[in-house]
Amino acid sequence: MAERLAKFTSAMDRLYEFDREPVKPDKLQSGGKFAGLFAGEHVAATEFVIGAFFVLHGVTARDLLLGLLIGNVLAVLSWTFICAPIAVRTRLTLYWYLRKIAGPGVTLAYNIANAFLYCILAGAMIAVSATAVGLLLGIDVPALDAVLPSSAGWVIICLALGAAFTAMAILGFEKLSRFAEVVSPWIFVIFVAGAVAVLSKLGVERNLANLWHVASTRVWNGVAAAGQQKFGLWHVLSFAWFCNLAMHVGLSDMALFRYAKKWTYGFYSAFGMFPGHMLAWICSGVMVAAVGREMHPGLMAFEAVGIAGIGAVLLAGWTTANPTLYRAGLALQAVTPNWPRWKITLLAGTATSALACFPVFFLKLLDYVAIYGLVLMPIGAVVFAEHWIFPKLGIEQYRAERRGWAFNWAVLAVWVGTIGVCLMLPIHLYFKWLPGWFIAAGAYTASAALAGERQPGAGRETPQAGEEAG
C-alpha cells in the first residue's frame, strides 16, 4: 500500500514538476493580464443556465440586482484578501503548498476529488451545448425535474458531443485554447445582444420608460416556476459569492495569483465577476423570460439572436468544457502513472460524456455548484489557518513536510468532518459553506494546538520563498 502510494505521489509530483519552484520575480505579470484572464474565464456555457434559473426560482428584480452586486463584491474581496495574499507570499500553487501542509497522500485525494468534480462540471457544459443541437434536430430537452436521460435522442446527442469535444481536446488542446480566446468576447456580446433583442418582445418601450416595470413584472417577478424553490436576496447573494468558492476561498487560484506583483491584483477579479456573473446572468434571465420560462439554453439563444445564438451555446459549451477536461485529465494523471496525455483525456472525456447524459447535473447546476464549493472549501480553510493563524499562535507549520508524513490525518479528518457537519447543518445548502469555513479553520487549529505542537521557536512563521514584491 505504502509503495503504491509512493508510486502515485511520485507520478503526481512529476506532473506538477514544472511549477514546483516559487515563481521568480522576472516572471511576474502585469495587472492587465489578470484583468484579461478573468474577463475571458467567467463567461461560460453555464452562465446561460444560472441566470435563467434565478428567474425560475422566483427572484425579484430588486433582490437579483442587490444580491448579485453584494455577492460579486464579496467574491472579489475573497480573491483579494484570502487567495491573493497567500499566493503572493508563497509564490506556489495550491498543489505544492498543500503538499507541505497535508502531505502527498491528502494532496492525491484532493486531486482525485477535484478530477471527479471537474468531470461533472464539464458534463453540465456538454449538456448545455446539447440543448442547441437538440433544437436543430427536434429533440426535446429533459423536464426540469428530470434525473435520468429523457430519451435515446438526448443520450445520442450528449455522447456524440462528448466524443467530439474529447477528440478535439486530444487532437489540439492548445489550438482550441487559442480559439477560446477569440470566442470568449463574442459570447459575452451574444449575451448582451440576446437580451437587447428580446426587450421589445417582453414589452419594453423604445424609450425604455417601462424597463423597470417589465423587469419586475415579466422577468424577475418573484413567482417561482412549478416545482422550483423560491429564492430571495440571501440566496442570490450567497450564490454569487460561492459560485467560484473553490477558486477564491478554496485557494485553487493561487496558481494564477502566484504571478501577481501585489496581492491587490485580486481586485482584477472584478473584470470577470461583473461582466460574467452579473451582466451575463441578467441577460440570460431576460432571454428565458422571453421564451416563456422554459429552461432551454439553445432555444433561448435561438429565439433571441437566431443561428448565431445556436452557435454561441454550442461554442460556449465546447470552449469551456475543453479546459475543464484538461484539468480533470491532469488531476487524474496522478493515479494513472505513465499513461500518455491522450489516454487520460480519453478517460476523462468518456466519464464526462456519460455524466452529461444525466440531465440532473445541468438542471440542478446551482445545487451542484454549491456542493462543488462545499467539498473543496475545507482545504482552503486548512491552508488559511496554517498560513496565518498558526504563526500567530506559535504552532509549528508544515509538519507533514518536516516530518515526512504521507498523510496529515488532522487535515483529512477536518476535511471529511467539515463536509459531514455542513451537510447536517439545518440551513439551506447555499449557506452551509460559510459556517463550514470557520468550523474547518477552527477545528484544524484546535487539533494542532491540542496535539501539543507548540514548540519554542518552531511556531515562528517559516520565511516564504517569494515575499511580496512591490
Partner 1 sequence: MKTLVAVMSILSLAVCLGVPVLFFLGVLPEHSFKAALLVASLAWFFLASAWAAYRKHPSKG
**Residues at the site binding partner 1, with contacts judged by CB under 8 A:** 178-179, 181-183, 185-186, 189-190, 192-194, 196-197, 199-200, 204, 206, 305-308, 311
Residue number, 275 or 311, with CB nearest to partner 1: 311
Alpha carbons 139 and 27: distance in angstroms, whole number: 50
Running DSSP on this structure, what letter comes out for residue 144?
T
Residue number, 75 or 190, with CB nearest to partner 1: 190
Least Å from the CB of residue 200 to partner 1: 6
Alpha carbons 252 and 95: distance in angstroms, whole number: 8
A 10 A CB-CB count for 130 gives: 33
Rounded to the nearest 5°, which phi and psi values hold at 411? -65, -45
Residue number, 310 or 347, with CB nearest to partner 1: 310
Plot region of 205 (φ>0 → left; ψ -120 to 50 → alpha; else → beta):
beta
Least Å from the CB of residue 182 to partner 1: 4
Alpha carbons 421 and 470: distance in angstroms, whole number: 41
Which residues face 29 on adjacent strands?
Answer: 260
Alpha carbons 245 and 362: distance in angstroms, whole number: 19
Q: What angle do CA 444, 449, 452 make, to 5 degrees?
A: 135
Least Å from the CB of residue 307 to partner 1: 5
Least Å from the CB of residue 201 to partner 1: 10
Least Å from the CB of residue 291 to partner 1: 15
Query: What is the grid cell recorded at 268?
Result: 482584477
Outline where 263-408 has alpha helix (H).
270-274, 280-290, 297-305, 307-332, 341-356, 360-363, 365-384, 390-393, 399-403
Least Å from the CB of residue 46 to partner 1: 21
Residue number, 202 or 356, with CB nearest to partner 1: 202
Least Å from the CB of residue 176 to partner 1: 12
Residue number, 136 or 451, with CB nearest to partner 1: 136
Least Å from the CB of residue 99 to partner 1: 35
Residue number, 298 or 380, with CB nearest to partner 1: 298
Closest CA to 266 of 281, 279, 254, 280: 254
In the chain, % helix, strand, coil (3-state, to 5) comes to 75, 0, 25
Closest CA to 358 of 81, 95, 147: 147
Residue number, 178 or 460, with CB nearest to partner 1: 178
Residue number, 193 or 365, with CB nearest to partner 1: 193
A 10 A CB-CB count for 11 gives: 17
The answer to whether residues 171 and 336 touch, using CB atoms and an 8 Å cutoff, is no
Least Å from the CB of residue 181 to partner 1: 6
Residue number, 186 or 267, with CB nearest to partner 1: 186
Closest CA to 347 of 12, 125, 92, 122: 122
Residue number, 286 or 328, with CB nearest to partner 1: 286
The answer to whether residues 349 and 169 touch, using CB atoms and an 8 Å cutoff, is yes
A 10 A CB-CB count for 314 gives: 22
Least Å from the CB of residue 301 to partner 1: 11
Least Å from the CB of residue 328 to partner 1: 26
Residue number, 30 or 200, with CB nearest to partner 1: 200
Least Å from the CB of residue 258 to partner 1: 25
* Cα–Cα separations (whole angstroms), residue 63 to 11, 58, 173, 238: 49, 10, 40, 12
The answer to whether residues 195 and 304 touch, using CB atoms and an 8 Å cutoff, is yes
The answer to whether residues 174 and 282 touch, using CB atoms and an 8 Å cutoff, is no
As a whole number of Å, the CA-based R_g of the chain is 22
Residue number, 190 or 371, with CB nearest to partner 1: 190
